[in-house]
Amino acid sequence: MKMPDIDAIQAFVLVAQFKSFTRAAEALGATQAAVSLKIKRLEESLGRQLLERTPRRVVLSAQGQVFLASARRLLEHYQEAIDCFGQRKRTLRVGVSHHIVGADLSRWLRRLANTDPEVVVAFSLGTSRGMLDSYEQGQLDVALILRHDNRRQDGEVVGSERFAWMAAEDFQLPAGAPLPLAFQPEPCGMRSMVVNALDTHDRLWQEAFVGSGILAIGAAVVAGIGIGAMVARMAPQGCVDVQQRFGLPPLPSRDVVLYSAHRDAQAQALIRTMSAGIAGR
């Protein structure tokens, strides 16, 4: 049997991860045709069909499912062999939704930095939509986001977060007045969730503050400018849950989803640290 090409094995693992030749090609910085050719040659060298292709989806064959675990281990050992001399530190590009970490960001980053001294974390913080876009474009190795829609159903669910209506302790709302909201500009999954909940219950609302990032929104809430919807555990000091006080509709929970094409020991250790402390685990 001809020795399989390591690049072809990596392409196969990525296609299995993404269930898409297009997304695997983006992660590799290659064309879809090049990825398809690599996997075709891999199947020829193994004498096995690894993928079942249909016009709408790509799924593993029974033989592909058997091969996948061994292929991932092979890539891990290959990476360890390449890194054995320790000449350069590895960089992992990590993107996280700002709704998942807030006031505890410094402590969270410290845990990441202490996970493996040989890994440099290139960290990005932003909206779930923005982090997922960056991951799909190959700009991130790992993305930890909130799932707000059905755009993608893959990824690993590592927990869930509960949202609450938060306001300053002394916040007052005149009877019949529209609900003053502090939230992000469009497009934003969190904003859509809030607006849908209020519109469904025919509750009047208006913009009181529009800012980028949960820290800015939290500051506006503490200042008494408006009411904000946020992960309850991330609410800044001086905020209280006002759902019952103002008769507001309940807000849904959201899954915290991890996306990563890297499954070697170093990446797994970092992922475990990232996931620690997520609500619902």
Per-residue pLDDT tens for 267-279? 778 777 777 756 5
Structure tokens given for 273: 């640290």
> 170-182: per-residue pLDDT in tens?
888 888 889 899 8
Instruction: Please report the pLDDT score of residue 152 as a whole number.
Output: 67
To the nearest whole number, what is the mean pLDDT of the chain? 82
Quick one: pLDDT at residue 180? 92
On the question of pLDDT at 108 being above 80, the answer is no
Contacts of residue 190, Cβ cutoff 8 Å, sequence gap at least 6? 99, 127, 146, 148, 163, 183, 184, 229
- Can you state the angle between helices 265-275 and 105-115, rounded to 10 degrees? 160
Q: What percent of the chain has pLDDT over 70?
A: 91
- The residue with greater pLDDT, 271 or 280, is 271
Instruction: Give the tokens for residue 228.
Output: 């904000």
- pLDDT tens-digit profile of 249-270? 988 888 888 888 777 777 778 7
Question: Does residue 111 have a pLDDT over 60?
Answer: yes
- Token pair listed for 272: 């475990």
Spatial separation of the C-alpha atoms in residues 6 and 52, rounded to whole Å = 21
- Tens-place pLDDT, residues 183-239: 888 777 778 888 888 888 888 988 888 887 777 888 888 888 989 888 877 777 888
pLDDT at 113 over 60: yes
Q: What is the pLDDT of residue 1?
A: 54
Predicted TM-score (pTM) of this structure: 0.58
Tokens at 182, concatenated: 């502090």
Residue 75: pLDDT band with limits 50, 70, 90: confident
What 3-state DSSP class applies to 269? helix
Tens digits of residue pLDDT in 54-74: 767 788 888 888 888 888 888
Domains plus CATH for the chain? 6-82 (1.10.10.10), 90-159+255-275 (3.40.190.10), 163-252 (3.40.190.10)
* Nearest partner of 258 among 164, 186, 159, 192, judged by Cα: 159
Q: What is the pLDDT of residue 280?
A: 46
